Structure 1
């Protein structure tokens, strides 16, 4: 497999084209050879002049070396030698790309940081790459990122064109972009173009996708397709989608008008924290805690001596643990606990708490699962106080781009009347009183952007 990266600077301010070596951290006069678990990668410059410079990455896959990575007991003795992994070209090329240009992907350059920070004219040529899908798949993936995409289908045999085409194409991308951004696009999208990977997928892949997709993947029109083909397994795709949801919610809230300087997201969490303090609670549940933003607010209040966060996303819980510094501060482990679980099922670990918060949680559930959530929170766990927030669907009409729902992961959004009817029915069924409050900007006709209910259990 071969990938070449060419630049032809059009501005004197960018310096000679050979300065590309400073950004890639590879000297044009040297050849770099690196051993990989599946073969060998070589970086060299077939041309290097002030007007035009090309860096080439050549990847050679060794099927025997690849077979040696198999672990004992994983299958039949011949299984490592008889599989389709050598044909996962995009996956191998992406791994080699990260290994060869890992520093460049961070956007750092010791000698020419200004060049690393500048979009420059770049052309990527890949003589042969797998493209399994519709003919316009390369354009669907790279076109929205600003590249001009050229492809040429490769026949099975040039002498017999009637045999048809292989699932491989010659690919050329041209655009003006930062080198680091281009490398991240390639790292994510080459395996997506291929649709296969040569190694076992786990939750680490979600972190890779989110890290290298930050700043562009959330707005990509084929975001869901990219996640599905990059991660393949439903559980991993769901974890990535949950983070997309966080990104979209923050974008939607930034779009909404706010009379105060405080962002809606922060105002909502502050109001919930204040309500929890006012309840007199000392043991609090954050149900659907995500990355622990509410928990971090509560942790600074001595009143709360036991805090428990529950979330269905294991990755979100890992991020919460990091941001709460639980590893660095072992004294917090007795005060703060993070639990992996779902509100759709009874959980005895949630019993006996003074208060629970569900901040922007219920709208992410299918409507038919609300009954189970209500029973498990109000009927089984039975906290003395429950604080619940959810969007007001009526307010959506005030956005610059009106929408039916705030983002794709919402399964429903309620009007003020619908929310009040549901909350009052829950309160009556499980022995609670309920009060309603407005959160954020309030429109004279459509009401508040967010609605909050405070339930108190009747003794």
Structure 2
């Protein structure tokens, strides 16, 4: 398989051969690396002051690939793992080769030309045979939002027999003015995404690779869900973790609101102190913070010595690690550590480890869940876990116009899948309470606007049999 990267730096007053410094590969000397099942080589078909092209040639031995236990699975016939497109078409094998050949360039480092590494340069990329599960339209959908001009032409099954139509491959040409590091990271992520296959086992470490390669661009990509799902081999748990981490990296600082005393106070602080006060009012001793993030509420609750058991859950292992670090978990006194547990768990899946608690908290969690998954969330929390009380906080969309820095029609965080008005939140909470045998009351968080209500709305659910007359 074959790929070329071309630049013309003459317009910037620089010799195009400086491209070799950016790639950390000398144009005068071909270089190669070993990869699983083959070798990858980089050489320069042209390197002049006007134009420079670096070519990557990947040579795959299908037998060696199978012997490494990383060959493509058979596709309908016995020799499918040996006779396939892996040696000829761009795939995750080429992405791995790019990572090995140009690791320093992908990190944006160039000690010899640091100013050049930091600036966008004119680039042309050509991949003659790219598997594209979704056709040329998908290539346009994925690359165009990143600033590329995309020319993706379907490769015919047989040029001599047009009636056979197009294959699943495209001849892809990308043209744009971007930083080289960004361009290489785009390719590293998108090649296996377009192919919709990987030649190796996909585990949690792949989330780290995706977040690292997608830094600065993936969180804002309109197709980030599709990209994450395909890159992570359709493993839902890994894709959810990746999306959450991307959202954290691209988070928007929440505006401050006025306190009752007139001074500014963080809405986030007011939220967790309000939740802690409600839990104290309930007399809850065994509590779960569902979707704990980096542990802000957990830290607040640890201050209450009357809480005997505190469980912090999150779908993201990275968030749990960050929470432990934030709370200095390893340095806590034994008594504090004994009453605090961290569990990796999703709010949309039943987790019997959470049953029988006095209270569960969903603080700024529901708005991060896709609306079709809300019934699953309600069932896992209110039916399976079935705590004595549930506290839910969520933004009040009615209040958003009061945040001057928030553009009209935008949500408060890029990972919010929705934001409810007061009427919508009341309707959802009332329906859930009726369905699972709870009563519900609503409270404000933050200073209440006479017209638009509070910035955050809180629902307190109590099991009906626990409601005292």
TM-score bracket for this pair, using the shorter chain length: 0.7 to 0.9
Aligned to 1:6: 6
CA 1:327–1:370 in structure 2 vs 1: closer, same or farther (change >3 Å)? closer
Q: 2:204, 2:425 → 1: CA distance?
A: 38
- Give a deviation string over 1:283-336, Cα, whole Å, max 9, x none: 65311223434445666888878642113x2xx123321452399964456464
Kept in 1, the 8 Å contact 2:232–2:239? The answer is no
Q: Distance in 2 between matches of 1:168 and 1:450?
A: 50
The equivalent of 1:309 in structure 2 is 312
Aligned to 1:21: 20
Which of 347, 350, 362 is the equivalent residue of 2:352?
347
1:330-353 CA distances to partner (integer Å, 9 max, x unpaired)?
A: 445646421133555363556466
Q: Say what the alpha-carbon RMSD is for the aligned residues.
A: 4.2
1:449 maps to 2:455: yes
Contact residue 149 and residue 175 of structure 2 kept, 8 A: yes
Residue 68 of structure 2 corresponds to which residue in structure 1?
Answer: 69
What SS does the corresponding residue of 1:158 show, helix, strand or coil? Answer: coil
Q: How many residues align?
A: 446
**What does 1:42-441 align with in structure 2 at a 5 Å threshold?**
42-70=41-69, 81=82, 86=87, 89-236=90-237, 238-240=239-241, 242-243=243-244, 246-247=247-248, 250-251=251-252, 264-265=267-268, 268-269=271-272, 272=275, 284-295=287-298, 307-311=310-314, 313=315, 316-322=316-322, 324-325=324-325, 330-332=330-332, 334=338, 336-343=340-347, 345=350, 347-349=352-354, 351=356, 356-363=360-367, 364=369, 365-367=373-375, 369-370=377-378, 372-376=380-384, 380-382=386-388, 387-395=391-399, 400-402=407-409, 410=417, 413=420, 415=422, 418-419=425-426, 422=429, 436-439=443-446
* Aligned counterpart, 1:33: 32
SS in 2 for 1:89: coil
Q: Distance in 2 between matches of 1:277 and 1:20?
A: 63
Displacement, 1:219?
Answer: 2.2
Given that residues 424 and 434 in structure 1 are in contact (C-alpha distance below 8 angstroms), is that contact kept between their aligned partners in structure 2? Answer: no
Deviation of 1:97 after TM superposition, in Å, equals 0.8
**Contact 1:250 1:265 survives alignment (8 Å):** no
TM-score (norm 2): 0.78
Q: Distance in 2 between matches of 1:435 and 1:274?
A: 15
* Cα deviations by residue, 1:75-112 (Å, 9 ceiling, x for unpaired): 99978546665566322111111111111111122222
Closer/same/farther in 2, CA of residues 433 and 108 from structure 1, 3 Å limit: same
Deviation at 1:448, TM superposition (A): 2.2
Stretch deviating more after TM superposition (176-185 or 83-92): 83-92
- Deviation of 1:67 (Å): 1.1
- Determine if contact 1:147/1:175 at 8 Å carries over to the other structure: yes
Residue aligned with 1:319, SS: helix
Inter-CA distance 38–297: structure 2 relative to 1 (3 Å threshold): farther
Secondary structure in 1 matching 2:454: strand
Report deviation, 1:381.
3.6
8 Å contact from structure 1 (residues 396, 406) kept in 2: no
Q: Which runs of 5+ in 2 are unaligned?
A: none
How far off is 1:395 after superposition?
A: 3.2
Cα distance in 1 between the residues matched to 2:51 and 2:280: 64
